Structure 1
Amino acid sequence: MNYLRVEFELSPDLHEFFIAELMDLDFYGFEQFDDKLVAYIDKQRFNDSNREYLEQLISAYSGDSFLEFEEIPDQNWNEAWEQTIQPQRIGALLVKPTWSTEAPSDGEILLEIDPKMSFGTGYHATTRLMLRQIQEINLKGKRVLDAGTGTGILAIAAVKLGAKKTVGFDNDPWSRDNARENTLLNQVDESVEIRFGGIETVDELEIFDVTLANINRNVLLEILPTLVNHTREGGIICLSGLLDKDEDVMRDKVQTLSVQITAIEQEDEWILMQILKNEVKE
């Protein structure tokens, strides 16, 4: 599988905005430098329409420009990203790549994540928001669904925080393989099931206590009703991959469903929305 590497000359204050736009176009690998943003996408998922949209987007910001498009073969992404993915402490979790020698302190829970091309290393604000939030939820003995699992980091964290079983799905081949490798790396492969595909991989009768979805606004708007259907009454749904400007449209969507918003957390321009599925009164 070949990828496109797209390099932007871009001021740091625009990085998060551009990452959100690029995620909507199926970009799922990012490197951030002082005045440069590098993004990766499966070549087959990129077309002339995507290119035209990006050119229009970048032209709206005076002084910012593309640097280059580069086609690159599949490679060892750990080596490519070793300088940018660093250990992070997120609540009681220590998230680190395998090449780091950082060790957890007493009481810390270790998550070792090799990123490859999958999104979800703890490096992005949306992942941090989700990891903080699930530490506030009682996961002991629960069944958890992780929609758009990426590296599998949320599914793995849920099990390490007490979940009995986690099902994660993703429609990107590198995510399928990477997530499965990370479950083995963290010795939770017997409790985490990774499925290749979209929401259709979840059986009609499968019900979960907690549902996690760190994707993007457009996908969340589309699949939220289905996620609600697969969450038990009184269950919790956590949504991220959202910018603060997305809050109103998400609220409008939530009002059409038998759920209620119980919390909104924010880091920089990104938000997490926690939703409770209403219990039906007899």
Structure 2
Amino acid sequence: MDYIKLVFKIDDRYQEPLIAELMEMDFYGFEQFDDRLIAYVQKPRYNDSNREKIEQLIGIYPDAEFIETEDVEDRNWNEQWEQTIQPQVIGKFLVRPTWSTVSPSKGQTLLEIDPKMAFGTGYHATTRLMLNRFSSINFKDKFVLDAGTGTGILAIAAIKLGATYAVGFDVDSWSEINAKENALINEVNEKVDIRHGSVETVSEREQFDITLANINRNVILEIIPFLVKKTNPGGTIFLTGLLDTDEEVVTNALNVQPVEIVKITGEDEWILFHLTKSES
């Protein structure tokens, strides 16, 4: 599958909001620099409508420019990103690419992630929000659903914290392949079931104790009823991929669901909802 590479000249203060908008148009590969953002999208998903929307978006941000587009053949994306993706500590986790030799300190849980084109390296604030929040709940013996699994990092982390089984789904074919590879690298592949598709990949009989969704506002608003339904009473739901400007509309959508908002946490412009499903 070939990709389109788009290069934006944009101040780093405005890159995260632009990334959020691009994610809603199915962009999932990003490289960030001080005044430049590079974004990738599968070629069939880049059309005149998306281009027009991007041109309108750029006009919102001061001095931003849409510099160029070019076709990019499928490749080993790790070779592209190896110089920019470095090991990092997030909460109780050491997240590192497989080419790194950094070892976890005592008490740290190792997550080895080769990102390729899938979203979820730990570098994005929403992934960090999730992994940091994991310390607030008990994963032991739990069944976990990871909606929009990306690299599979959250499903893998859940298993490493003691979850019995995790199901992850994603509409992007490269995510399915990448997440399965990462599960194998982390030696949890027998406990992680990665599926290509959306909510239809989850059967009627499947229920979960912990439900995770790191996607974007529009998709989350659409699947909130599904996520709540698939979560057992008393279970936990984490929602992110949301900007702080999304808080009101998401809260309103949750108000008609049998859930309690335990806490809303944030990093930069991004927020995470920690919810508990009602017992009755």
TM range (shorter): over 0.9
Secondary structure, counterpart of 1:178 in structure 2: helix
Structure 2: unaligned runs, 5 residues or longer: none
Secondary structure, counterpart of 2:136 in structure 1: coil
Structure 1: unaligned runs, 5 residues or longer: none
**For residue 138 of structure 1, what is the aligned residue in structure 2?**
138
Does the 8 Å CA contact 1:87/1:94 hold for their aligned counterparts?
yes
Does the 8 Å CA contact 2:238/2:274 hold for their aligned counterparts?
yes
**For residue 202 of structure 1, what is the aligned residue in structure 2?**
202
Shift of 1:15: 0.7
Secondary structure, counterpart of 1:135 in structure 2: helix
Q: In the alignment, residue 126 of structure 1 is paired with which amino acid?
A: T
**For residue 235 of structure 1, what is the aligned residue in structure 2?**
235
Does the 8 Å CA contact 1:261/1:273 hold for their aligned counterparts?
yes
Does the 8 Å CA contact 2:14/2:61 hold for their aligned counterparts?
no
Does the 8 Å CA contact 1:259/1:276 hold for their aligned counterparts?
yes
* 1-structure distance, mates of 2:63, 2:273: 35
Does the 8 Å CA contact 1:239/1:274 hold for their aligned counterparts?
yes
CA deviation profile, 1:120-140 (whole Å, cap 9, x unmatched): 010000000001111211000
**For residue 39 of structure 1, what is the aligned residue in structure 2?**
39
**For residue 178 of structure 2, what is the aligned residue in structure 1?**
178
Shift of 1:107: 1.5
* 2-structure distance, mates of 1:201, 1:134: 25
Is 1:114 aligned to 2:114, yes or no? yes
Moved more, 60-69 or 150-159: 60-69
CA deviation profile, 1:137-194 (whole Å, cap 9, x unmatched): 1000000000000000000000001101000001101000000000000000011110
Shift of 1:68: 0.7
| Residue pairs, 1:149-168, within 5 angstroms | 149-168=149-168
| Residue pairs, 1:44-83, within 5 angstroms | 44-83=44-83
Q: In the alignment, residue 56 of structure 1 is paired with which amino acid?
A: Q
How many equivalent pairs are there?
Answer: 280
* 2-structure distance, mates of 1:24, 1:132: 24
* 1-structure distance, mates of 2:6, 2:83: 18
Shift of 1:62: 3.6
Does the 8 Å CA contact 1:135/1:161 hold for their aligned counterparts?
no
**For residue 193 of structure 1, what is the aligned residue in structure 2?**
193
**For residue 247 of structure 1, what is the aligned residue in structure 2?**
247
Secondary structure, counterpart of 2:188 in structure 1: coil
Q: What TM-score do the two structures reach when normalised by structure 2?
A: 0.99
Shift of 1:103: 1.0
* 1-structure distance, mates of 2:263, 2:60: 34
* 2-structure distance, mates of 1:144, 1:197: 17
| Residue pairs, 1:12-31, within 5 angstroms | 12-31=12-31
Shift of 1:63: 1.7
* 2-structure distance, mates of 1:50, 1:86: 32
* 1-structure distance, mates of 2:63, 2:157: 41
* 2-structure distance, mates of 1:62, 1:127: 28
* 1-structure distance, mates of 2:209, 2:233: 8
> What do you get for the CA RMSD once the two structures are aligned?
0.7
